[in-house]
Amino acid sequence: MCLIQPDEGSVKVTGKELTPILHGAGLELSDSHLEQYSALLTSFEAAIESLPDDREVQPRPDLEKYPRTDIHVPEDNDHGAWATKVTAKCVAPESNLLAGRTVALKDNIALAGVRCTNGTAMVDWVPEIDATVATRIMDAGATIIGKSACENACLEGVSCTSVTGPVHNPYAEGYSAGGSSSGSGRLVATGSVDLAIGCDQGGSIRIPASACGIVGLKPTWGLVPYTGMLGLDPTLDHTGPMAKNVRDCALLLEAIAGPDEWDDRQPRVELGGYQVDYVRHVDGVTRLPKHTMLSGMKVGILLEGFQIPNHDENIAVIVRAAAMKLSELGATVSSVSVPMHSEATATYMTFLPALTPQSLLGEQYGHRQLYLTERCGLVGKKLTQAQFDALGPGASYMYLAYLWAQEKHGSKLHSRCRNLLKEVADSYDRALKDFDVLITPTVPNPPARLPDHGSSEGPMKLMSMAGGILANTCPTNCTGHPAISLPVGFSPTHEDPNVKLPVGMQIIGRRFRDIDCLKVAAAWESSFDWKTS
């Protein structure tokens, strides 16, 4: 261990300062050792004082190259979909891949100079950096026109908890647009933007895509850099495209995929061209004769995905029928069982509270990534009452479950869940040796009616509204497999049979074979009309 010699004016640590810290940890030192360790900690403080400002190495944007103007909170937020409006673009784009397109960023994604609420009033943060995906979108010629509303701390699946207000379903006011990328789903569906970025830790791209009748892809873990975004945990965090159709989804993925030298979740190897050539492969499939589009592909209808407790049978029937239509496109379609799929949700929900230090307290560790030093400095070692009160029911429950688990179970519970989730990943891999993709309903029930009083309805009611909503989506966050939601029909809501809302079909692929998900989705989309199917 190398010791830094303190300067004359450096902080000097005394035994008097160290003693209460020791007592708080249940430790004691002899007087001699207390003096020596105080001297060592004085050296530690000198090392801290010698550190340069890390802002110099952060991806701070060149505002002449990437100007942003007209930053404001809109009076008309499109039924809750907008958090903040802005016009941000590159004056000298590197390509015209997204030329003329407008894009919304989920409001947990950093765009320098624009507030980033993460859907909550827990802290106020205006980033000084741009997320990698934001820079890549502007470099591809698109214009970012705002931040889309997201649910409170990105921990809700029903769109009534954002600090900026409830987000209404584009097909029926008063119903959920899904979450947590609720604003992104609505804005794409209504045509307010051409494209949007969502983030997904348990289904937060796919759930609103299903609810809003659009296409949403959770890419393979690590394919798209998560640099410059607020997340839950590096092992679960995914970001990806949301679009009106599959080709646009592939186009946006092509613009944002690939290593950025910050995010160590990304492989430092070539991926056989599939990493950056998605649109060509999608176009190649849709130009084929209908009956040959998916020739040679094997599609597995994942039985457990249709057996979620209290699922809506209408949705199961619609998705199963949509999956069977893939045989008309040349695919071989048959059933497959992956028993671990049913067990994954309980493991995920038990595992989730252990992520509280990173997701709510701003602690970051264990990965080579961009650390958001300014944002994490806004929260202490524990939440204040005001910060806790600013959370939605999902986030507040997670914090309380974390405190409970720390006291009653310790770190062993987290370790146990982490090991069990490895078997979930292995079980998908075994099934995907025999199938190119697996099919489930994205969400087992139609979107719920928004509560009259938003998140003040109380945690039990709001969390029961989201019951089972993650059952088919959260497993692939744990395993890293790509999964896309494609609209395939409409189903009546539980509250009113005259209100019919979109139904999504989820297509799960092998890791780093996102193109298989896109090809299957594109073939179905180009052959059938989901609004009349």
Q: Rounded to an integer, what distance in angstroms lies between the CA atom of residue 212 and that of residue 5?
A: 61
| pLDDT one-digit tens code per residue, 44-70 | 888 888 889 988 889 999 999 999 999
Of the given ranges (80-94, 206-220, 408-422), which has the lowest mean pLDDT?
408-422
Q: Which of 89, 106, 218, 519 is catalytic?
A: 106
Question: In this structure, what DSSP letter does residue 6 have?
Answer: P
Taking the CB of residue 290, how many other CB atoms lie within 10 A of it? 14
| Of 243-252, 264-273, 394-403, highest mean pLDDT | 243-252
Q: Which of 159, 181, 182, 204 is catalytic?
A: 204
pLDDT at residue 272 in the model: 47
Residue 134: pLDDT above 60?
yes
| pLDDT one-digit tens code per residue, 309-336 | 999 999 999 999 999 999 999 999 999 9
pLDDT at residue 274 in the model: 43
Residue 365: pLDDT above 90?
no
Strands 195-200 and 102-106: parallel
Rg (CA), the chain: 24
Residues 506, 483 contacting (CB under 8 angstroms): yes
Q: Rounded to an integer, what distance in angstroms lies between the CA atom of residue 483 and that of residue 507?
A: 5
Rounded to the nearest 10 degrees, how much is the dihedral formed by the CA atoms of 357, 362, 368, 373? -150
367-393 b/e (C-beta count within 10 Å ≥ 16 → b) = bebbbbebbbeebeeebeeebeebbbb
Largest Cα–Cα separation, the chain = 84
Question: In this structure, what DSSP letter does residue 526 have?
Answer: H
pLDDT at residue 4 in the model: 62
Q: Which two tokens stand for residue 2?
A: 């190398």
**SS3 track for 195-256:** EEEEEECCCCCHHHHHHHCCEEEECCCCCCCCCCECCCCCCCCEEEEEECCHHHHHHHHHHH
pLDDT mean across residues, the chain:
93
Residues 184, 223 contacting (CB under 8 angstroms): no
489-520 b/e (C-beta count within 10 Å ≥ 16 → b) = bbbebeeeeebbbbbbbbbbbbbbbbbbbbbb
Say whether 411 is catalytic.
no
CA 492, chain centre distance (Å)? 28
- Stretch (H or E) spanning 49: helix 31-50
| Of 355-369, 442-456, 487-501, highest mean pLDDT | 487-501
Query: Which residues have a Cβ under 8 Å from the Cβ of 408 and sit 6 or more positions away?
Result: none
| pLDDT one-digit tens code per residue, 340-350 | 999 999 999 99
Residue 11: pLDDT above 90?
no
Query: Which residues have a Cβ under 8 Å from the Cβ of 6 and sit 6 or more positions away?
Result: 12, 42, 43, 45, 46
Angle at CA of residue 488, ends 487 and 492, nearest 5° = 95
Of the given ranges (238-242, 260-264, 439-443), which has the lowest mean pLDDT?
260-264
Q: Rounded to an integer, what distance in angstroms lies between the CA atom of residue 282 and that of residue 465?
A: 37
Say whether 180 is catalytic.
yes
pLDDT at residue 127 in the model: 97
pLDDT at residue 267 in the model: 65
Strands 238-243 and 195-200: antiparallel
Q: What share of the chain has pLDDT > 70, as a percent?
A: 96
Residues 75, 195 contacting (CB under 8 angstroms): no
Query: Which residues have a Cβ under 8 Å from the Cβ of 494 and sit 6 or more positions away?
Result: 312, 445, 446, 448
Burial of 328 (0-12, 13-18, 19+ CB in 10 A): middle
DSSP H stretches of helix in 299-408: 313-324, 340-351, 356-359, 373-376, 385-389, 393-408
Residue 527: pLDDT above 80?
yes
Residue with tokens 């802290």: 123
pLDDT at residue 273 in the model: 44
Sheet strands (E) in 82-165: 82-88, 102-106, 143-148
Say whether 95 is catalytic.
no
Taking the CB of residue 128, how many other CB atoms lie within 10 A of it? 14
Selection from 108, 80, 106 nearest residue 165 by Cα = 80
Q: Rounded to an integer, what distance in angstroms lies between the CA atom of residue 496 and that of residue 493?
A: 6
Q: Which of 38, 180, 210, 427 is catalytic?
A: 180
Q: What share of the chain has pLDDT > 90, as a percent?
A: 82
Q: How confident is the model at residue 373 (pLDDT cuts 50, 70, 90)?
A: confident
Q: What average pLDDT does this structure show over 24-32?
A: 94
Q: Rounded to an integer, what distance in angstroms lies between the CA atom of residue 215 and that of residue 242?
A: 6
Residue 454: pLDDT above 80?
no
